[in-house]
Structure 1
């Protein structure tokens, strides 16, 4: 059975390449001031509960994802190999977001926004980070016109939906979407259209047309994985092959 990066059930749509941010600042929001001491007779907040408050859990989940998730580790290596090394402190920002958006890639700052009020657990964090890193990888390797060319946006959304695990069988079952024949392709089309509609003021017909026009070439573009990584095991194999390919070309 195919699984999403990190496993677990699906969350809201992983996010879009461009996000309307409440501010234009870099990095994570400032942490809130420490709470006042409890009044007499009230129990003090335990260490673990204070550690995993919302503003702290997002950076902690991000750190674990960057260190352990095979999808993310491959994408980080690929970004570095392409001349776009990722600095977690500079290129990720935990913020509160409107609606049920889970994250986004802000092309104007080359920064990935993680919606700390909507990301529920580590599995969800893994999917969001993978999805947005695919957008960042596309932004690094190609001249993507996010704002002016909906076909460019559609292409990256197709790749992100296909390669991030967002359309895994587990996620689709949780969404109560079933099907056997070319179900992955159907899911990728649907998720790409939804992602476009979330960030563009266009009709569903226009979004669907953009997806249809670029689907074949973009769906078959598996870089940097070399294959569709349906499970963590496939992602580990893809990472191994990527490193071996890099060593091979460096020795030519």
Structure 2
């Protein structure tokens, strides 16, 4: 994945139902790197999932800098992005990220890995259960498994579908970045699923859409204002 052997990443989330790029007139004439940088900037400034994660990272002593911690690159295969723990950098696959909504999901997904890297001693390189836990959290909290995304994938309507989607996405992500068998990936995910699925930090809840994410961000800010006044 983009030359990042230690990356925790996600496979392209719309393999079953490709979308047409929804970019502005000017963006059609820009190079991939320029389009990637413009979409990244908009995501960092406007997306409620990302704004909450950036606040949480800053409060945890791991402030994120756009120039230092993000890199737009061409990637092999259909991977959309990854977190390279060896250099604490998020790789954005400019040749595979198709539109602003896709950028929003990729940045959110990878920032959850970055948050986990900041707050915990995650062994990305040798402990597949650690990787599985972060992939479960990223799939659960980033919007990867939202109803809209699952409809685009032509997968919806099953009992406990959100949990099933999170499990499947976590397994796919492990297989995209680790040379392990599907059986090993499934075993790692199943062993940590319950505890990691129920770990909603820093959101405090599963943010099923942007409205939920905005409420979660408001509650996060109010929670810290309350503690600072005690």
Match of 1:216 in 2: 194
Give the SS at the match of 2:166.
helix
Match of 1:111 in 2: 89
Cα displacement (A) at 1:209: 0.5
Q: CA RMSD in A?
A: 1.6
Larger Rg: 1
Match of 1:58 in 2: 36
CA distance in 1, matches of 2:121, 2:149: 31
Cα displacement (A) at 1:174: 1.0
Match of 1:81 in 2: 59
Deviations 1:195-252 (A, max 9, x none): 0111111111111010000000000000000000001000000000000011111111
Q: How many residues align?
A: 211
Structure 2: unaligned runs, 5 residues or longer: 6-24
Give the SS at the match of 1:102.
strand
Structure 1: unaligned runs, 5 residues or longer: 1-18, 24-46
TM-score, with normalisation over the residues of structure 2?
0.89
Match of 1:100 in 2: 78
More helix by share: 2
Match of 1:21 in 2: 3
CA distance in 2, matches of 1:111, 1:160: 16
TM-score, with normalisation over the residues of structure 1?
0.81
Cα displacement (A) at 1:190: 0.3
Pairing 1:157–2:168 present = no
Match of 1:48 in 2: 26
CA distance in 1, matches of 2:130, 2:28: 43
Cα displacement (A) at 1:50: 7.5
